[in-house]
Amino acid sequence: MSGLASGPPAPRATTTPPRTAMGWSAVWFAVSIVLVAANLRPAVVAVGPLLGEIQADQRLSGTAAGVLTALPVLCFGLLAPVAPGAARRFGIERALLGAVLVLCAGIAVRSAGGPVALFAGTVLLGAGIAVGNVLLPSLVKRDFPERTGLMTGLYSMAITSGATLAAGVTVPVARAVGLDWRGALAMWLVFAGVALLCWLPHVRRADRPARTGAARAGGLWRDPLAWQVTIYMGLQSLSFFAVTAWLPALLVARGFDPVVAGWLLSLATACGVVGATVAPVLAARRREQRTVVLVTTGTAAVGLLGLLAVPGVEVLWVALLGGAQSAALGIALTLVGVRAPDAERAAQLSGMAQSAGYALAAAGPFAVGFLHDLTAGWTAPLLLLLAVLVLQGAAGVLAARDRLVATGGSRSPTGAR
């Protein structure tokens, strides 16, 4: 965390002007952002459907398998502070190019050999995704200042769609063409390679950032609003990763076939595509986002309460929960953009929110699993997630106020969207 509080002064925006007119160049740039965003989850999510096969082939214990699934989330948190420094040194476009290259390398290494390669490749791809997570909000803030909600909705939709795609097609495609788990994981290298090729032209046209003037990032770690955005980011991520990890097990315990439980998880992520697309657009249209935060939090609470108290309608509860959780992600990303006064602060706030936020989120699956083992049931884990939602909603309401980080003031009239 301290990495954001020191180092050279952040640059002013690059001399490349914002893409305020949606001409061909801006559309192509937006498409490239969406392609990069679509690669920020498949390499991670694809492991879940293959975990049993990986465990058997590599003779991994349950603990080792748990570490393997938690490593990417830990990397998201621990390595997020690297991103703002990389953007200051090389420019956002070049830093994102490096992130996609590291992601590609991680996918390749993970599929190349035994347990060492498996874990080393996972760390590499987690590092690449961590940088992409942080820099995309800053890029949107810089190049699409008048379309923050639309662009945040598009790339958060791409993140959710990538996760849905990976969950749904990894095993069927691998079986159709006769691939083992290594080949099934390696095939996502093709998807990442497409994003890499599409991003290269933007790196060539990008200007290196100037190194003059700009506020230091250290003030954000003392800014209450920055912490409110960070806590909201962390708690919505904790809830998402906990549900993703344990929802199939809960459904199987209720008598669902494991295949049906897996499809219900896919339903949750598919409904999340809608939430992730619509919520940022609605949030960015307002100077404050309290209504959107409360509606989203309330919908997630209905889904959890339904799973807890009204069995037999799990399809409805899963759909509501999945849509609301992905909407919360879109809102969190939107808050990073609208609460920051410029692209530099957006990168710093994104780094802070995702560093501390994902470190917090990594505890979610472990806490739910611990409570399940302790109580031999699902009531306590679901009550824990409801308590997390209460805290998430409170942090979101505070973060949704019409304020800017590190200024102490309300948004100026020109900041309206």
The domain ranges of the chain are: 2-406
Q: Looking at 13-17, 33-37, 57-61, 388-392, which range is the least confident one?
A: 13-17
- Look at residue 306 in the predicted model and tell me its pLDDT: 94
pLDDT tens digits, 129-169? 999 988 888 888 788 877 777 888 888 889 888 888 887 78
- Look at residue 6 in the predicted model and tell me its pLDDT: 37
Q: What backbone phi and psi angles, to 5 degrees, belong to 303?
A: -60, -45
Please, which pLDDT band fits residue 347 given cuts at 50, 70 and 90?
A: confident
In 3-state terms, what secondary structure has residue 403? Answer: strand
- Look at residue 205 in the predicted model and tell me its pLDDT: 64
- Look at residue 12 in the predicted model and tell me its pLDDT: 41
What is the percent of the chain with per-residue pLDDT over 90, rounded to a whole number?
34
Instruction: List the structure tokens of 78.
Output: 């621990």
Inter-CA distances, 191 with 112, 114, 202, Å: 18, 23, 18
d(CA 16, CA 33): 16
Mean pLDDT of 375-392: 92
Of 276 and 10, more confident: 276
Q: How many CB atoms lie within 10 A of CB 242?
A: 23
d(CA 122, CA 300): 30
d(CA 328, CA 316): 18
d(CA 14, CA 2): 25
pLDDT for residue 271 is more than 70: yes
In 3-state terms, what secondary structure has residue 415? Answer: helix
Instruction: List the structure tokens of 275.
Output: 């939430």
Classify domain 2-406 by CATH architecture. Answer: Up-down Bundle (1.20)
What pTM was computed for the model? 0.76
Ramachandran class of 286: left when φ > 0, alpha when ψ lies in -120 to 50, beta otherwise: beta
Q: Which amino acid is at 42?
A: P
